[in-house]
Amino acid sequence: MQKQFSTPFRGTRHWLAGVACAACGLGAVQAGEVAMYGNLDIGIKKRSGDVVQVGRGFNNWLGWRGSERLDNGLEVFFVTEMRFNLDDGSQERPDNLMQGETTIGMRSKELGSVRMGRAMTPLWWEIWKYDPWINSGENASMFAYQTGSYTSDGVHDLDNGYANFSRFENAVFYTSPIAGGWHVHAATELERDPLDVRRPAGVSFNYAKGSVLGHVALERNANDDRIGVVSVSWETGKLRLMASTARHLPRIGAVERVAMVAANYRVGAYTWRAGYGRNFLLDHDKLGVGAIHHLSPRTGLYADLYHERTTDSATGAAVGIMHTF
């Protein structure tokens, strides 16, 4: 998801890393950098039939990332990211302190990067770019109409409070170098749970060149549910148009097809956003509009209005403030 990082502060050399690298024959280690970053988002929201609530429009997180260059062109890097509820200070998931990501890996310009741990799958790592609400799942977001009811876990969702809805854990992740505007993400879980039907795995092919973005993702979860997603985006002047469609093939049950179209329009200190999504299997749809008033490059006030037609149709509205650092 979209992240803005604060100016990193210089850290001292970790002597343990130096000893380890020397023992492995990797050579000298240059002093590394560590950056702390985060996002704060809170607002007031009301959905018809519900009480007024205080809650997020986008995820609240606090993260640390760091890197250290080796003298043979390799770089060691890590990411740790915790998520929390800004309204009451609680963890987003009680059993997951580092709900966002916990990975460490190595990378180079020629070979790309390999990291291990827990992180978003290749599908979710890119799909946020095609929703004006950054795939937040809140307020007017088109989240449910990009991937339907698919989850990257599929087996343990209820047990872990959907903490791995969009993540693999005990996994290895690969990101290729960019070539001709294309790059590839691939990932698979290394450990198998006795309840898993298949080993979760996914790949995405991503294009970014000029005014065009493109994304094709294929994934299966531990229940052997499968999904294919195609997303495109095109920018002209101050307008960006977005669209995506997905076909979800559950191991048990009917095929689910969803699609959405959306747009951002930036004029002056405002970004106007709109989207429409439809679930063809369930005959659900959603129309959302909103605006952000940018007080600075890192701070904005937002307002959303949406109507969603489901089994219990509802209209909702939200206003809030967001700040990245």
- Quick check: 54 pLDDT over 80? yes
What whole-number percentage of the chain has pLDDT above 90? 85
158-201 pLDDT, tens digit each: 988 999 999 999 999 999 999 999 999 999 999 999 999 999 99
Return the CA Rg of the chain: 21
pLDDT at 95: 86
Per-residue pLDDT, averaged over 79-97, amounts to: 93
* Helix (H), strand (E) at residue 148: none
248 forms bridges with which residues in the sheet? Answer: 227, 256
Do 124 and 100 meet the contact criterion of CB atoms below 8 Å apart? no
Tell me the pLDDT tens digit for each residue of 234-263.
999 999 999 999 999 999 999 999 999 999
What residue ranges in the chain does DSSP mark as E strands? 9-10, 33-47, 53-55, 61-69, 75-83, 101-108, 112-120, 167-175, 182-189, 201-209, 212-220, 226-236, 239-249, 256-267, 270-279, 284-294, 299-309, 314-324
For the cut 60, the answer to whether the pLDDT of residue 17 exceeds it is: no
Confidence of residue 23 (pLDDT cuts 50, 70, 90): very low
Give tens-digit pLDDT for 127-164.
Answer: 999 999 999 999 999 999 999 999 999 999 998 899 99
Q: How confident is the model at residue 33 (pLDDT cuts 50, 70, 90)?
A: confident
- For the chain, the average pLDDT equals 90
Beta bridge partners of 299: 323
199/71: higher pLDDT: 199
Read off the pLDDT band of 312 (50, 70, 90): confident
Cα distances from 244 to residues 150, 182, 228, 278, 319, in angstroms, run 15, 18, 11, 11, 27
Please report, for the chain, the start and end positions of each structural domain, with discontinuous segments joined by +.
Answer: 9-324
CATH topology of domain 9-324: Porin (2.40.160)
Q: Nearest 5°: CA angle at 255, between 250 and 260?
A: 110
